[in-house]
Chain A
Amino acid sequence: MEPASEPNDPPHGLDGRDPDPDDEGHDLLRGLYRAVLRLYPRGFRGRYESDLLQAFDDRRVERRFTGILGGLQLVLFLAKDVARSVPMTRGDTDEPRGWEMMMSDLVSDVVFGGRMLIKSPVFTVTAVLTLALGIGLNTAAFSAVHALLLRPLEGTEEPGELVQIYRSWAGIEFGANSIPHYRDLRDRTGEVFEDVAAWAYAPMALSADGRTDRTMGVIASADFFRTYGVTAALGRTFISGEEDRAPGAHPVVVLGHGYWQGRFGSDPQVVGRTVTLNGHAFEILGVLPPDFRGPVNYADIPLYVPLMMQREVMPGRDLIEARGSNSFSVVGRLREGATVERAGQVVDGVLAQLRDELPDDYENQLGHRLVLQEEAGIHPMFADATVGMSAVMMTVVGLLLLMACVNVANLFLARARDRRREMGLRLSLGAPRRRIVQQLLTESVLFSLLAGAAGVGLAVLATRALAVFQPPVDGPWHVAIGVDGTALWFTAGVSVAAGLVFGMVPAFHSARSDPMAALKADPDRKAFGSRTSSLLVVLQVALSLVLLVGSGLFLRSLQGATRIDPGFDDPTHLALASVDPGLQGHDEVRSRQVLDRMLEEVRALPGVTAAGLVDYPPLGLSYSTRGVGIPGYEFAEGEQNSLGYIRASEGYLEAMGTELLEGRTLRRTDDDAGAPVIVVNRRFAERFWPGESAVGKVVSTAGAEREVVGVVETGKYQSLGETPREFMVLPHRQVFASGMTVVARTAGEPGPVLGRVREIVRGIDPDMPVFDVRTMAEHMGTALLPARLGGILLGLFGVLGLTLAAVGIYGVMAYSVALRGRELGIRIALGAGRREVVRMVLREGLRLAVVGTVLGLVVAALAARGVQGLLYDVDALDPVAFIGVPLMLVAIAALAVYLPARRASRADPMGALKAE
């Protein structure tokens, strides 16, 4: 879906897509089905193969079997069909009457299988728990991915018709829109869009019932709700032609359902009430239904205010006529029959008109990007990252499930060997092989359904934990993760598939076994399936090594992050608290007074050694830049001339403990009455005035020629992993913003200071909310979040994997030792030392572990390159992770091998000889 770079591109240039996007999935399923057909007897297959595939094709296009869910249902349908019909087509069948008999066999198999499971509770519980863990994690991970990326926006009508419209400029592919631009789009694209709506986040402070809280609301165009197809549960929503008549004329607010419940106690009389919103009186117009939580899938938007009230809600900014201020998301609803491609052409046609009408405003814009709402995910800008993270997560949990299956397969294999005599007996008494296979398969599927149920229980717990998780960024973030129908289908599919996978191996082994050999007193037991077991163990060790090396890398990276110098002192003794007097309707003069009084009272607190104000503390997610001009410096074509900055008051740099290299920091007198000044960092000074003193030089930015009065050390501003960048500190008293954070350095614990700051704010204005009250260390959690989450998750998964691998090695070795008890006894009787026997068994077990480790190292090295971008200060081939982790793994494997080996050395030589 390439957008037209020129509005006059011929239409066929846009339509180079494959007409059938399902083709790939279709072929995959069909290929699988074709492979499964080998289960049928050759004669039947030869005669009917093309008919069977034709029937598959016919079924595949049926409506009930399309889409992801349909595909899963088709798989289940076919699995059931194959299980039923394979025995039916076998020539050696002993029942002439089809599956009535089979059903009765099935019932007796289920009963028998259930009895077997109850008879060996330890085996059952271990295996069920192992598999439940794998299935539970898979369901939880799938639920999370589904909620964030796959599920269409909930509570909307025909979500498939919704299209996000982004503007693009050089370097910005998915940019936002300005209000005037949105108006032109809305008015000139009626041919393809039924409705076009615009919305943007806005911080809001709502006072009602004597309480004020600050949250993130949305300002939305009057046709917003009509575009999404949302009608109010109570009262009404905005109406086009009503709430878009005149700026400032519509002080009304619509409440989200969750906010109505939480903040207004589900009051049915709430419509018509007046509340104070950012210092202005607003009337509550209506309440939304519970299923629509907002225009994005990661938040539950509490408040909606008409676009026309932008000036009242965002004091100090006027966006309604500002064509250059692009901060709005725009979404359109396609008319029936209109395609995204056609809409793209129409939208770019509007751009061509606007270029003619307003050449100055549209000089740099390249075009638009249109993305179906369903495909937009969190934001197309993050598509690669979110899809990548999801893929990594799904791969990891998939690997764990695989390991769990391997363990369970081993357990089943061991049991099948124990029951081999029973099977041989039954075969020699004339039981058909397929009955035995069927019975073993029934047992394992029964078992995997049990594990699947336990897994869903685990998944519910895990998704609850995920849903509670809140990113440390202020806002009404909420992802509705739940184990829903799709996830249940997924689990059912996974658990039945798992049952078949690990039931298959032992079942085929049993069916292949020679009844005579099984009945002999001394069967050649060692050969039976032990190569398969060894292979499974090698695979397990390799898989757990990959997971563990991954978590090792993330943990090392966390260590690395704490070694990085952020450019300020001890973050655990820095108290932060944010206020925004502008949200209370205060003008600039009054806001300055409020902020000054707050700052003075904080400075006077006992234990506070320095304090200042800043608009954005470093290492949050916010980072602003401003264009700069340097007299005597020519910016090259394409060289970045827009540099990072903060607004700060006197005392801020001191409170942070930022090192002053030259000149002075900001002073109280750097205000409107004083000369325009600026403080820059070392990197800034070295770039523009290399080898010279920067003090006294001039920087032209923020509407003035500013004299550099000081140079400070370069720090970290946006993230700990960033490369050093130029940075400016502008005096807040000369460049005003109403939302500010007070930063206080404390001598002792910052807790009491944080408490007092709340009291101080309440004393100044009881209605003014104070938010993000926390230490700098807590605030920095944001910057470290990806590494921390990655480390925790992979660490958890790695430990799980390690446990699974250890259990696997132990099981296989214990079994092999038990089988060879007599051989080892004879060796001891013949004079071999016990030590020698231990060494022999150890060598055998460790060989498996070492082969698995080497295999795992190769895979891990390849995988590590993929996550290099997420690591701080750690090489992808970090020696600690790549040497330490394998050593630990081998040590644990050695322990798992040693226990059975020691038992082997205690083999009783006399007993061994007696049996001979």
Chain B
Amino acid sequence: MAPDDGPDLDDLLPLTRTVFHILVALAGGPRHGYAVAQEVEELSDGRVVLGPGTLYGSLSRMQEAGLIEETENPGEEGLHAERRRYYRMTALGSAALGSESERLMRTANLARSRLEA
């Protein structure tokens, strides 16, 4: 039994590329939706460009899964800042990101050691 009675971490792994990128973006602190999309595009070298529907579809699902939650505006100003919805990563999200990174790292290390051998 998971300690917080939430969804089982193993059910969520491996993360899809988009979910992974979104979590990485939110690991840097709370963001509003469009800022998440921009950061994901940057992180993926421009390969993942999230349209409005995909962005909020993913955020909505991740919220249902307990990976992220809505939060207050952390004090940002700027265009329509008061109207935007902000998100931050939950403990579960952080754990999922940690395990996924671990898994990717192991795979990457294995790949590198085999290539070097």
Which positions in A face B, CB cutoff 8 Å? 40, 44, 47-48, 50-56, 58-59, 77-78, 80-82, 84-86, 88-89, 97-98, 100
Residues 43-69 of chain B, each 1 if its beta carbon lies under 8 Å from chain A, else 0: 000000111111111101100000000
Find out whether the CB atom of B16 lies under 8 angstroms from the CB atom of A55.
no
A54 engages B84 (CB within 8 Å): yes
CB of A71, distance to nearest CB on chain B (Å):
15
How far does the Cβ of B10 sit from chain A's closest Cβ, in whole Å?
13
A97 CB contacts on chain B under 8 angstroms = 16
Q: How far is the CB of B54 from chain A (nearest CB, A)?
A: 5
A98-B16, A98-B18, A100-B16 known; A51+B85 contact, CB < 8 A: yes
Give every chain A residue within 8 A of B50 (Cβ-Cβ): 81
21 A-B pairs within 8 Å (CB atoms) are namely: A40-B53, A47-B60, A48-B60, A51-B52, A52-B56, A54-B80, A54-B83, A55-B55, A56-B52, A58-B34, A59-B51, A77-B49, A78-B51, A81-B53, A85-B51, A86-B53, A88-B57, A88-B58, A97-B16, A98-B58, A98-B61
Task: Report the separation of the CA atoms of residues A98 and B61 in the bound assembly, to the nearest whole angstrom.
Answer: 10
For A77, the closest partner residue in chain B by CB is B51
Residue contact B56 to A51, C-beta cutoff 8 Å? yes
Q: Is the CB of B60 within 8 A of A52?
A: no
Check A82 against B53 for contact (C-beta < 8 Å): yes
Q: Report the interface size for chain B: residues with CB under 8 A from the other chain.
A: 22
Inter-chain pairs besides A52-B53, A85-B56, 10 sampled, C-beta below 8 Å:
A47-B60, A50-B83, A54-B33, A56-B52, A58-B34, A77-B51, A81-B54, A98-B16, A98-B19, A98-B58
| Smallest CB gap from B12: residue in A | A96
**For B37, what are the chain A residues with a Cβ–Cβ distance below 8 Å?**
55
Report the nearest B residue to A36, measured CB to CB: B53
A760 to B58, alpha carbons, bound, how many Å? 84
Q: Is the CB of B52 within 8 A of A78?
A: yes
Q: Closest approach, in angstroms, between the C-beta of A76 and any C-beta of chain B?
A: 10
Q: Is B60 touching A80 in the complex (CB atoms < 8 A)?
A: no
| Distance, CA A84 to CA B53, complexed state (A) | 8
Complex: chain A residue closest to B54, CB-CB: A85
Distance to closest chain A CB from B43 (angstroms): 17
Separation of A58 and B56 alpha carbons in the complex (Å):
14
Please measure, in the bound complex, the distance between the C-alpha atom of A40 and the C-alpha atom of B83, giving whole angstroms.
Answer: 21
CB contacts (< 8 Å) of A77 on chain B: these are: 49, 51
Complex Cα–Cα for A77 and B52 (A) = 10
CB-contact partner of A81 in B19, B52, B80, under 8 A: B52
CA distance A760 to B68 in the complex (A): 93
B60 touches A89 (CB 8 A): yes
Cβ-closest chain B residue relative to A98: B16
Contacts of A88 in B (CB 8 A): 53-54, 57-58, 61
Whether A52 contacts B16 by the Cβ 8 Å rule is no
- For A58, list chain B residues within 8 Å (CB): 34
Q: Considering the chains assembled together, what is the distance between the CA atoms of A89 and B33 in angstroms?
A: 17
In the assembled complex, which residues on chain B have CB atoms less than 8 Å from the CB atom of A98?
16, 18-19, 58, 61
Partner of A89, one of B49, B51, B53: B53
Q: Which one of A50, A55, A56, A86 has the highest number of Cβ atoms from chain B below 10 Å of its Cβ?
A: A55
Nearest residue (CB) in B for A37 is B53
With both chains docked as a complex, state the minimum distance between the C-beta of B25 and any C-beta of chain A, in angstroms: 15
| A-chain residues with CB within 8 Å of residue B49 when the two chains form the complex | 77
| A85–B61 CA distance with the chains assembled, in angstroms | 11
- A54 touching B51, Cβ below 8 Å: no
Q: State whether A80 touches B16 (Cβ < 8 A).
A: no
- Tell me which of A51, A80, A82, A86 has the highest count of chain B C-beta atoms within 10 A of its own C-beta: A51
Instruction: Indicate if the CB atoms of A55 and B18 lie closer than 8 Å.
Output: no
B52 touches A52 (CB 8 A): yes
A52: chain B residues at CB < 8 Å are 52-53, 56
CA A47 – CA B18 in complex, angstroms?
21
Residue of A nearest to B56 (CB): A48
Q: Name the distance in Å between B42's Cβ and chain A's nearest Cβ.
A: 13
Q: Please give me the residue from chain A that is nearest to B79 by CB atom.
A: A58
* Distance to closest chain A CB from B9 (angstroms): 15
Chain B residues with Cβ below 8 Å from A86 are: 53
Q: Which residue on chain B has the smallest CB distance to residue A50?
A: B83
Decide: A51 and B53 in contact? CB cutoff 8 A.
no
Q: Which residues of A contact B33 (CB under 8 A)?
A: 51, 54-55
Nearest to B14 among chain A residues (CB) is: A97
A51 to B57, CA, bound (A): 11
Chain B neighbourhood of A51, CB < 8 A: 33, 52, 56, 84-85
Cα distance, A80 to B50, chains bound together (Å): 10
CA–CA, A77 to B49, complex, Å? 9
Check A59 against B54 for contact (C-beta < 8 Å). no
CA distance A82 to B52 in the complex (A): 8
A81 touches B18 (CB 8 A): no
CB A64 to nearest CB in B, in angstroms, measures 10
Contacts of B61 in A (CB 8 A): 88, 98
Could you tell me if A55 and B52 are in contact, using CB atoms closer than 8 angstroms?
yes
CB distance from B91 to the nearest CB of A (A): 21
A325 and B36 alpha carbons, distance in the complex (Å): 65
Name the distance in Å between B62's Cβ and chain A's nearest Cβ. Answer: 11
Q: How far is the CB of A302 from chain B (nearest CB, A)?
A: 46
CB distance from B13 to the nearest CB of A (A): 11
Q: Report the separation of the CA atoms of residues A52 and B58 in the bound assembly, to the nearest whole angstrom.
A: 13
Smallest CB separation, B1 vs chain A (Å): 21
Chain A residues closer than 8 Å to B57, beta-carbon distance: 44, 85, 88-89
> Shortest distance in angstroms between B71's beta carbon and chain A's nearest beta carbon?
15
Question: Which residues of B in the span 4-32 have a Cβ within 8 Å of any Cβ on A?
Answer: 16, 18-19
Shortest distance from the beta carbon of A58 to any chain B beta carbon, whole Å: 4
- Whether A44 pairs with B60 at a CB distance below 8 angstroms is yes
- A85 pairs with B53, CB closer than 8 A: yes
Set of chain B residues within 8 Å of A47, measured between Cβ atoms? 60
Task: Report how far A712 CA is from B16 CA in the complex, Å.
Answer: 90
Give the distance in Å from the alpha carbon of A44 to the alpha carbon of B55 in the complex.
12
Residue of A nearest to B53 (CB): A85
- CA of A360 to CA of B51, assembled, Å: 66
Q: How far is the CA of A855 from the CA of B45 in the complex (A)?
A: 55
Chain A residues lying within 8 Å of B84, measured Cβ to Cβ, are: 51, 54
A85 cross-chain contacts in B, Cβ below 8 A = 51, 53-54, 56-57
